[in-house]
């Protein structure tokens, strides 16, 4: 009798985990220089395929747009590989002759990588390069809605790695995916660590797996524009609109709400319109909120990553041609105003602050509502205002740069990453931009540096 989908997925997860573990054992001891060459080769193999994989992702998931997914794929291949080339993950990492301590990096083992439907190919590229750089095996568990594009991305990278001598099975992807199968992969005895990117339910399941877990939380990114930016307001507007419309808002690090000082609010509205923003009427905004969110205070998955035109059509109002984002003017924060929450589509909330203190207060409240620990953005030429804003409870404070390009480490010198930790603010183990350095165990070799018997004299024993 044919097994049902859950049983097939569980069986596949067990098989992949066992094969990955054997491949990992064979991979142990591989020259780090050869691993670096392997990482570079996998990244180069993605380059000519980046647009095709983006097309596969859009066709399968219905989220985002091809050109921006191509850019995401290239960033996670080329920029991540450039970063990884300059860091050391295996062997002696550092030594301190004065303290007689040396640190050595060793792999963790088999990585279970949960892949979100919003970024089904780019996240796989990032996690595979990071895991292999750290000497691990990896099994990707895509969202059921992104299996085909995920399998194809893994196939390209695994083929290159195997051509360069990697054991078969070092890089795998579940082809039969259910929640039960993914859960089995996370809990399997051969799995060493879980990398979880996705919705709150998935992240909770990952932390409940009993395995060490790197996971991320929601991002309700506030963007405060200070009056000192008056002469640069056009560039600020371009950064905000470009970041928010990128891949139709599927990145949680994009701006979710703009807060403007009263002195520049009118000009910012004007510039946002010039850059392609459409300001909804209150009635249109209310209909839009009902389209984007369900009655359960959650985003409707069918409205994630949709174009402004598709969202406007669904909410039954007209917008000008070439509109890039939709904006709702807001004054309150909370579920009674749903558009003040995280929106994984090109929809932005706009607040006019009473003054700078009120603007920072609004940013703090927005971050605490649905985005605690993730990212916040400030545009200001006043260092004292930036210092005050840095008290917003987020792991990344981005200054004078677009949220998505700054947060993922392209326009800033943050570590390039497509997995942004949110810290204990939101239940995550790290607030870092996660990299290959989070996928190694660090062993320290410490020589005696002072006479051990001195403890008796020092403490009067």
| Cα 263 to Cα 82: distance, rounded to the nearest angstrom | 42
Cα gap 174→6, rounded to integer Å: 13
Sign of the four-CA dihedral 394, 398, 403, 405: negative
Asked whether the beta carbons of 12 and 147 are under 8 A apart, the reply is: no
Is 173 designated active site? Answer: no
Whether the CA torsion 66, 67, 69, 74 is positive or negative: it is positive
Would you say the C-alpha torsion 199, 200, 201, 205 has a positive or negative sign?
positive
Q: Which residue has the tokens 């877990």?
A: 213
Catalytic residue among 16, 149, 173, 252: 252
Positions marked active-site: 252
């Amino acid at each position: 009798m044919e097994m049902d989908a859950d049983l097939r997925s569980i069986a596949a997860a067990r098989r992949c985990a066992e094969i990955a573990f054997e491949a990992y054992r064979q991979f142990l001891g591989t020259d780090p220089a050869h691993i670096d060459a392997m990482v570079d080769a996998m990244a180069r193999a993605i380059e000519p395929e980046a647009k095709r994989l983006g097309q596969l992702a859009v066709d399968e998931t219905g989220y985002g747009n091809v050109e921006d997914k191509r850019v995401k794929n290239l960033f996670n291949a080329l920029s991540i590989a450039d970063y990884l080339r300059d860091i050391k993950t295996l062997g002696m990492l550092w030594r301190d002759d004065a303290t007689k301590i040396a640190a050595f990096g060793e792999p963790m083992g088999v990585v279970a990588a949960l892949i979100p439907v919003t970024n089904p190919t780019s996240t796989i590229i990032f996690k595979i390069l990071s895991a292999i750089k750290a000497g691990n095996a990896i099994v990707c568990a895509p969202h059921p809605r992104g299996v085909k594009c995920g399998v194809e991305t893994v196939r390209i990278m695994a083929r290159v790695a195997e051509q360069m001598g990697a054991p078969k099975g070092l890089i795998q992807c579940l082809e039969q995916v259910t929640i039960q199968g993914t859960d089995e992969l996370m809990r399997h005895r051969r799995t060493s660590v879980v990398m979880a990117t996705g919705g709150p339910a998935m992240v909770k399941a990952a932390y409940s797996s009993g395995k060490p877990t790197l996971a991320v939380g929601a991002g309700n990114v506030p963007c405060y524009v200070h009056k000192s930016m008056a002469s640069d307001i056009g560039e600020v507007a371009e950064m905000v609109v470009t970041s928010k419309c990128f891949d139709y808002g599927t990145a949680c690090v994009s701006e979710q709400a703009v807060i403007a000082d009263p002195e520049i609010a009118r000009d910012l509205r004007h510039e946002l319109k010039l850059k392609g923003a459409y300001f909804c009427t209150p009635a249109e905004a209310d209909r839009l909120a009902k389209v984007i969110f369900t009655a359960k205070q959650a985003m409707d998955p069918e409205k994630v990553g949709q174009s402004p035109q598709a969202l406007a059509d669904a909410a039954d109002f007209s917008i000008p041609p070439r509109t890039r984002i939709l904006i709702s003017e807001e004054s309150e924060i909370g579920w009674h105003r749903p558009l003040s929450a995280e929106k994984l589509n090109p929809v932005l909330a706009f607040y006019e602050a009473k003054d700078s203190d009120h603007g920072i207060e609004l940013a703090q409240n927005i971050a605490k509502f649905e985005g605690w620990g993730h990212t916040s953005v400030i545009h200001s030429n006043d260092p004292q205002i930036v210092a005050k804003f840095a008290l917003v409870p987020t792991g990344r404070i981005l200054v004078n740069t677009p949220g998505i390009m700054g947060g993922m480490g392209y326009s800033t010198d943050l570590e390039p990453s497509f997995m942004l930790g949110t810290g204990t603010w939101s239940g995550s183990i790290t607030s870092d931009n996660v990299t290959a350095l989070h996928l190694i165990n660090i062993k320290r070799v410490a020589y005696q540096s002072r006479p051990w018997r001195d403890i008796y004299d020092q403490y009067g024993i």
